[in-house]
Structure 1
Amino acid sequence: MESILDKLSSYNLFNYLLPGVILCVVSDRYFDIPLLQDSIITGLFFYYFVGLITSRFGSIVLEPILKKLKIVKFAAYSDFLKAVKNDQKVEVLSEANNMYRSLISALVILCLLVAGEKIIHEYESLSSYYKYALLPALLILFVFSYRKQSEYIVKRINSNNESSD
């Protein structure tokens, strides 16, 4: 168990595990949506996965909305890479920034869960569709996450190739 926790980076702890734990605890304690796990091992993996979903939702769904609303603005990725080389604090700030996005995402997901629960209690016939919508939604979320991550890798490779020329 300790070796698993030792291998988690601060990014993984603050952007996946923390939002996953918060989302599960708040949903269980305040909204009677049971997501807490009895087993510590199962719980760690489950909370990490919930946090991963939360983070990806923030990146794929919320971030573009916040950009369109001009609430956030990003520098070009090539400029970010140059800044990281010159100032190591930029990477720390970026990690904190992603944590805030994940926490915002956890709150939005909580709102969606609570709204979904209210709708299901009003219209019980929708309850069977609710669980079948989850898998395709997760599939779509992770396909777009994979695409976005692949684009970052390509940008980073291109940036490295340009700087070595």
Structure 2
Amino acid sequence: MSELLSKISAYDLLNIALPGIVLGSFSAWLFPGIAAMLDNPLGAVGGCYIAGVVASRVGSLFVERVGLRTGMVRRRPYASYIKVSRRDSKLEGLSAVSNMYRTLTGSAVLMLAEVALRPAIATLGDGALPLCCAALALLLYASWTKQEHCVSKRIKVQEGDLADEQD
């Protein structure tokens, strides 16, 4: 267990654990069934981790898109980020804090959705579970495809750097 804990980065704490605890605690307060799941340490860690991942993905897929479309956020070319991060040691930390705020915003959006959907969830009862699982599957699929796109962009940038070094 201590080996697992030693592999947790500050980024994971800021962008998964903290928002997961916030969202998990709120969800447990709102829905007694979730509170029962979080009663034991393993359930609490697992539940809050999953809540943090979901909040992170909502932030990445929806909150970020709203910020870009409204002009509140401006995206820089990824190649520029890679080049500047090599010279500016603070850029990675600033980006992690920015992502934390995006993820916490995702948590807040999910909390608002839980409040708004609480009557529908109560009406559906056990029927809400398959719908939540389907929504989770779609969210994680969209997240995976976005992550693959980021990996491809990073490879492309690195290949370009290697080509530049060979010239």
Scaled by the length of structure 1, the TM-score of the pair is 0.89
Q: Where do residues 1-165 of structure 1 align in structure 2 (5 Å cutoff)?
A: 1-29=1-29, 31-32=30-31, 34-36=33-35, 37-121=38-122, 124=123, 126-165=124-163
Question: Aligned partners of 1:34 and 1:90: how far apart in 2?
Answer: 41
Q: Percent identity?
A: 29
Contact persistence 1:28–1:35 (CA under 8 A) = yes
> What's the RMSD between the two structures over aligned residues?
1.7
Q: Aligned-pair distance for 1:42?
A: 2.5
Change (3 A) 1:73 1:33: farther
Contact persistence 2:24–2:47 (CA under 8 A) = no
Aligned residue identity for 1:111: L
Q: Residue by residue, what CA displacement relative to the aligned partner does 1:48-97 show, whole Å, maximum 9, x if unpaired?
A: 11100110111112211221121211111111111111111111000000
Scaled by the length of structure 2, the TM-score of the pair is 0.88
Aligned residue identity for 1:107: A
Q: Residue by residue, what CA displacement relative to the aligned partner does 1:91-116 show, whole Å, maximum 9, x if unpaired?
A: 10000000000100101100101111
Q: SS in structure 2 opposite 1:35? A: helix
Question: Aligned partners of 2:66 and 2:90: how far apart in 1?
Answer: 27
Q: Aligned-pair distance for 1:27?
A: 2.9
Change (3 A) 1:44 1:10: same
Question: Aligned partners of 2:93 and 2:9: how far apart in 1?
Answer: 12
Question: Aligned partners of 1:35 and 1:88: how far apart in 2?
Answer: 41
Question: Aligned partners of 1:127 and 1:34: how far apart in 2?
Answer: 11
Contact persistence 1:25–1:35 (CA under 8 A) = no
- Unaligned stretches of 5+ in structure 1? none
Contact persistence 1:54–1:102 (CA under 8 A) = yes
